[in-house]
């Protein structure tokens, strides 16, 4: 058994991170996470585990507001540092609570020449791509009216960095040799009816396959706000304004033929927990609260620590219905 697999068995691909987070931040943080983890319906009364099933299948995914997570598998600061700690919920809990976009970043996996591990830069998060795919498949089998949008990124970091050709070969290995091709919708923005029960693959890696091609700026598929670092006396104020501007742009362009993406996460010298709290308090929550009762297609809205911002997560879900 290779080192990476042995570590997975020792630490656990799913449960180890949450336990460590609770012990690291003490009773107050653990209690806060427990208090929000049982949330099961939005203020509009929608079950968070099955909200998409209530929507017309003829809608394009481009017509939706899709709450998501940034660095979706970075639960445990022991797998990196507190600088790379962005989530308390694991993927199954995120999906149960209404998250429908996952940000999955991969390097090669030591001792496993055909596999991909989930990383934050060069820090292995002790979970493999197949673990995440199996979690998504289990959720979708139990909730066939839902879909999951997944950005799959070649992280290109550290000793397990892969070049374009090798990363693509390993993705192909997952699709065919490991049998995951049927789980995915691969080409073009689908209707919700077509996407239901599937993972919509968004390729943040070089590919000749005609996949949905990610952009952190703008291309034929995306219009993305992802300011993660900036200067000035109030960088979080600048980031907050960018978030609001992107919400406004999406609101004003209801028939825009691209997917809006609006990252509510920020690094730039702050702990993710600190920057997330500030941005939610100063910018995101006030913007959404002032527009309660108004339907909006904001596109994909990735965030850090949705367990600490359940109000925002659920308000985003409700935007699809009012």
Task: For residue range 223-254, list pLDDT tens digits in order.
Answer: 999 999 999 999 999 999 999 999 999 999 99
Separation between Cα atoms, residue 87 and residue 37, nearest integer Å: 13
The answer, yes or no, to whether residue 271 has pLDDT greater than 50, is yes
For residue 18, pLDDT beyond 60: no
Residue 30 pLDDT > 60: no
Angle at 105 between CA 79 and CA 144, to 5 degrees: 110
Q: What is the pLDDT of residues 43-53, one digit of tens each?
A: 999 999 999 99
- Residue count of the chain, please give it: 322
Strand residues in the chain grouped as ranges (E): 65-69, 101-109, 112-120, 123-128, 148-154, 184-185, 199-204, 212-213, 222-225, 259-262, 299-303
- Cα–Cα distance, 208 to 67 (Å, whole number): 29
Distance of CA 143 to the CA centre of its chain: 18
Q: What is the pLDDT of residue 11?
A: 33
Domains in the chain, start-ordered, CATH in brackets?
3-318 (3.20.20.190)
pLDDT tens track for 278-287 = 999 999 999 9
Q: What is the DSSP letter of 41?
A: B
Helix residue ranges per DSSP H, 150-219: 164-172, 192-195
Measured CA to CA, the distance from residue 100 to residue 136 in angstroms comes to 10
Distance between CA atoms of residues 91 and 64, nearest Å? 21
Q: What does the alpha-carbon distance between residue 241 and residue 82 come to, in Å, rounded to a whole number?
A: 26
Cα–Cα distance measured from residue 312 to residue 81, given in angstroms and rounded to the nearest whole number:
26
Banded model confidence at residue 40, pLDDT cuts 50, 70, 90: confident
**How far is it, in rounded angstroms, from Cα 119 to Cα 137?**
21
pLDDT value at residue 1: 33
Q: Is 26 exposed, middle or buried (0-12, 13-18, 19+ CB in 10 A)?
A: exposed
Place of tokens 């791509």: 129
């Amino acid at each position: 058994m290779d080192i990476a697999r042995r570590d997975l068995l020792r630490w656990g691909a799913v449960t180890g991170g949450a336990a460590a987070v609770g012990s690291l931040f003490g009773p107050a943080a653990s209690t806060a996470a427990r208090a929000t983890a049982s949330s099961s319906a939005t203020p509009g009364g929608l079950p968070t585990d099955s909200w998409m099933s209530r929507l017309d299948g003829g809608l394009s995914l481009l017509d939706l507001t899709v709450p998501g997570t940034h660095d979706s598998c970075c639960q445990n600061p022991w797998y990196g540092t507190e600088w790379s700690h962005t989530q308390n919920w694991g993927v199954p809990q995120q999906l149960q609570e209404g998250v429908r976009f996952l940000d999955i970043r991969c390097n090669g996996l030591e001792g496993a020449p055909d596999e991909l591990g989930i990383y934050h830069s060069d820090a292995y998060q002790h979970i493999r791509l197949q673990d995440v795919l199996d979690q998504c498949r289990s959720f979708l089998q139990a909730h066939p009216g839902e879909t999951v949008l997944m950005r799959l990124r070649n992280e290109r970091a550290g000793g397990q960095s892969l070049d374009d050709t090798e990363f693509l070969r390993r993705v192909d290995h997952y699709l065919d040799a490991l049998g995951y091709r049927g789980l995915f919708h691969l080409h073009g923005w689908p209707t919700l009816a077509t996407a239901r029960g599937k993972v919509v693959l968004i390729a943040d890696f070089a590919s000749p396959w005609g996949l949905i091609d990610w952009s952190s700026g703008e291309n034929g598929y995306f219009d993305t706000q992802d300011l993660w670092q900036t200067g000035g006396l109030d960088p979080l104020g600048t980031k907050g304004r960018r978030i609001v501007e992107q919400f406004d742009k999406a609101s004003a362009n209801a028939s825009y033929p691209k997917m809006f993406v609006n990252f509510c996460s920020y690094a730039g010298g702050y702990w993710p927990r600190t920057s997330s709290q500030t941005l939610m308090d100063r910018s995101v929550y006030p913007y959404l609260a002032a527009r309660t009762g108004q339907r909006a297609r904001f596109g994909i809205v990735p965030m850090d620590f949705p367990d600490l911002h359940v109000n925002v997560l659920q308000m985003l879900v409700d935007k699809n219905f009012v």
